[in-house]
Amino acid sequence: MVGLINWLSQITAVTKFSLRTVPERLGSSASAVFGIAGVVAVFVGVLSIAQGIRQTMVTSAAPEGAIVLRSGADSEMMSGLGREATRIISEAPGVARDAEGPLSSAELFVILNLPKRSTGTDANVPLRGVERAAPRVRADFRLVEGRMFEWGRNEVIAGSAAAREFAGLDVGASLEVGREQWQVVGIFATNGDLSESEIWTDAKVLQPAYRRGDSFQSARVRLNSAGSFQEFKDALTSDPRLDVKVARQDEFFAEQSIVVVTLITVLGTIIAVIMGLGALIGALNTMYTAVSERTREIATLRALGFRSGPVVASVLTEALILALAGGLVGGGLAYVAFDGFQAATMNWQSFSQVGFAFAVTPQLLVQGAVYSALIGLVGGLFPAIRAARLPVATALREL
C-alpha cells in the first residue's frame, strides 16, 4: 500500500515537472495540438452530416406514426394502394381519431424537377398529394408563411427545407405541374423531419394531373399510441382484402436512411483514420522531441533513483493532455463551423433531395475526444518506452 502511494506520488511529481517544461517546447507541442485538432474537426464535421441526416429522417419521426405500403414495396415510389384499401386502413383498430375523423391520410408521391438555388442545376423534389388529415397525422405540422392550399384547387405548399434548397418555391410563385401552372401559397414546417423537403397538394387534384385514377401509393396514419402498432399491423396483414406491409414510421425512415448514413459514416471514418495517421506521426514526433529534449532531466531523475514507471507515465500524460487539448479545439471548431449548417442530399429511396442540418451532437464530441485521446496515447507510447529504456549512464554523458 505504502509502495503504491509512493509510486503514485512519484508519478505525480515527475508529471508535474515535465508539464512545466512544455512551455519550453511550445512550437512542437502546439503543432501536435493543432494537428489533432484538425483531425477531430474533420472527423466530427463529417459525422455530423450523418447525424444530421439521421435526425431528419429518424429522430424527428413521431413514434405513434405508421406507414402502409403495398407488400413487397420498399419505398413509396414502388408502392400502390387502391381507394378501397385506403378506406379499410383508415378504419383499422388502433388508428387515432379526432372530431373530423380518423387520423389517416392516403397519399400520392410524384417527383418534380426544379433548379437548386445553390447551383441552378435541376434536382428532384417530391410532390406529395395528401388528404385532409395529413397535417394532423404529422405531429408538428405548422405553416410558417402564407396559407394552406385550398382543397380541390391547383395550389401547393412547400416544406421549408425544399423552399430553402430550390428556386421558385417562394409564396406567390407558380410551378409547372403536368402542363399547368400551380400556385405556391404557403411554406410549412414539420419540426425538421423529412416532410420539410417535400411539396404538398391535394391528392384529389394530383391524381388526374398524373393520370393516377383513384389510386394512391401509401397511407400515413397516426395511432392512439406507439403501443397500438401491433394491433393495427395484425388487423391489416390478416385482412384477406389487403396485400400490404405495415411499418412504424421511425423504423421505415431509419431503413431508408441507412444507406446514406452508413456511407457517410464509413467515409468519415476512413478520412478520419487517414488524417489520424498523419496526426499520429505528428504526435510521435512531438513526443520523441520532448523526450530527447528532456533526456538530461530524465537521466538525472533516474540516477537519483526514480523508477522508469513514473517517467513513462509522465510522457504518456503529457501526450494525453496535448491530444485532449487538440480534441477540444477540434470539437469546438467543428461545433462552431458545422453545427446547424444547412445542406441537402439525395434520398436514395425516393431519388429526391432531402434537406438537413449538420448535427454536432454531444455524443460526436465525446467520440472526437476519445479519438484524440487514442492518438495521444499511441503517439506517446513509443517515446515513453524510449524514455524508460534510456541507459542512465550513457544518457548522462551525452550532455
Partner 1 sequence: MSESNNVLVRVHDVDKVFRRGSEEVHVLGGAHLEMPDGEFLALMGPSGSGKSTLLNLIGGLDRPSEGTVEVGGLRIDRLSDRKLAGWRARHIGLVFQFYNLLPVLTAERNVELPLLLTHLSRAERRKHVAAALGVVGLKDRSQHYPRQLSGGEQQRVGIARAIVTDPTILLCDEPTGDLDRTSSDEILNLLSALNEEQGKTIMMVTHDPHAAARASRTLYLDKGKLATEPEE
Fill in the per-residue mask, 30 to 69: x = in contact with partner 1 (CB under 8 A), - = not in contact.
Answer: ----------------------------------------
Between 215 and 295, CB nearer to partner 1: 295
- Amino acid letter, residue 90: S
For residues 288 and 103, is the Cβ–Cβ distance under 8 A?
no
Residue 301 touches which of ligand ADP, partner 1, none (Cβ within 5-8 Å per kind): partner 1
- Quick check: 77 binds partner 1 (CB under 8 A)? no
Residue 362 touches which of ligand ADP, partner 1, none (Cβ within 5-8 Å per kind): none
For residues 354 and 56, is the Cβ–Cβ distance under 8 A?
yes
Write out the binding residues for partner 1, residues 283-312 only, by CB under 8 A. Answer: 296-297, 300-308
Segment near partner 1 (CB under 8 A), from 4-12, 238-246, 250-258, 373-381? Answer: 4-12
Size of the site for partner 1 (CB under 8 A): 25
Q: Give 102's contacts (C-beta < 8 A, 6+ positions apart).
A: 90, 91, 95, 96, 133, 221
Q: Give 219's contacts (C-beta < 8 A, 6+ positions apart).
A: 67, 68, 81, 85, 86, 89, 90, 104, 105, 106, 107
CA 220 remoteness from chain centre: 25
CB of 26 to partner 1, least distance (A): 14
Residue 92 burial class via C-beta count within 10 angstroms: exposed 0-12, middle 13-18, buried 19 and up? buried
Determine the Cα–Cα distance for residues 130 and 138; give it in Å rounded to an integer: 12
CB of 298 to ligand ADP, least distance (A): 16
Binding site for ligand ADP (CB under 6 A): 393-394, 397
* Among the listed residues 9, 181, 225, 230, the single contact to partner 1 using CB under 8 A: 9
Determine the Cα–Cα distance for residues 245 and 36; give it in Å rounded to an integer: 48
CB of 27 to partner 1, least distance (A): 18
Name the site residues for partner 1 (rule: CB under 8 A): 2, 6, 9-10, 13, 17, 20-21, 296-297, 300-308, 391-393, 396-397, 399
